[in-house]
Structure 1
């Protein structure tokens, strides 16, 4: 059986996610309800007592009768009431057949999805082809003692944390309206300073709403030096995983490295809550850049990060590239290419 749910099917969406063996807050109805880059849908394939859900965003392709599918900001991909890598092979093949027909019938040209580094979703999507290696994400293993964890830090990282202790830095839980206003100020300044695209800029309403749900727990934590808020982050706790969703630091306090102190503090909060992992993420665009190196200074545990870049209609895809004068063989790391520039 196949279902196509939209945001209007709130309770069903919540039920499918909540009853899954593995999911993160990026899969939830609430998180999708905040999305503006496309129209959220949940494709569901059910067979006997097993289901596979696939949350996606629909986007019209300008100047054509076609659409494509992408995903929310963060790590999503398919989920199931069984672990993906334990699903019966026949059922996975049947899912492939059903989803392929859906893509053709609904005139979708391509699909782009950021896969979740903690779940084995590639076993299902490898059946289609198009799974792309994108780099690594840096992870804290919270099963280690705090002492063992800190032994893995680079000396410069531990020195920055000790510096924060000496100066009396503290972390406050500011999951409230005042905290959101502070976060918006710090985060927006941070994003503009690093030249981030508009894709990474969000308004105050978005930040308020991401924290206000019963589908997952999210917190806004702020680092204070005396009475001055100098760094802030939004993190989410779901199924044993802490996600470092968004973070920012005031420019004049960058030399104090307050986010190193913040990351270390979050691992302590995670242990108190019984979390298994704290995912710091990767570099910008998941490249091995300065940001990735900064994160590597905390942990040598790195998970593979993959994307699914699937062309459902090669003929139309090629025509869209031709219409924009883009060579199909270009080495630009962007998908789908017809949306480049």
Structure 2
């Protein structure tokens, strides 16, 4: 895994599918009501800023992962402590996403199956792929990207021709002004999904065409933001604000309301495929980054040996983090996102970039 190389296009597909992740199927920016699509676009602009922070650090240390340059910037002891906290963060987020996707599949498709079984099967496939390294993950993402593109395109066409889209549900625009939209964008939607781009700081050094990293990243984030905004607007247009904000999975409710020519209906399979493809990619990347960070931190020569033990840890954490889905979502939105995500995605990277700027300016001088 250490000597792997991926192309800029593979980076693009990884980021795009990663950003879709659970953001496509869970309620996004629901506090902004009918202006949710606008909050997503504003959060995307903030996501660009965070991407530039990670890209600037990558330019300073193009051959080092964050776990290594943290030790250069903060000293060996403090750098290792911070790197260890990042490992815990990546493991917890991987477990949280695994729990979310497990809950979705149990709710929608497998109500009689214990969530532990669903999560165990999910993580087993992910561990097997991660064990093969970033090149295999990247090649898989290329194939899944084509499948996802066809699913999104056909799903959107079906929404349009079924007549469920009612643009008037998006009015009035800016009913309560810009402030609640900006608040939603920068207290919720920035961290999920756009701030999670932090994981790619560890993957950037594996890209062959270094000059294309910035372009691939910005294009992927821009496209994902636009598509997420489009589907958020589509959900509100189809369901109305009240139903969208109260639906556990708004996209599922929208898909279930599609009916074409009196026979094409109950297209829940679309939702299940969205869940499996995006969940698979997102958990794989978080898991891979956690695995790689541990191997860098503790100087493990063969990181793949840690894959199965770490898979068990992620599985157990996913089961222990909450007793039910409601408790899980409350903990994530009230505690984890505003405090933990804000620290790891925004505050610490900015702090590291400031130190890197002054240290490298001294060298240049």
Structure number having the greater helix percentage: 2
Structure number having the greater strand percentage: 1
TM-score (norm 2): 0.28
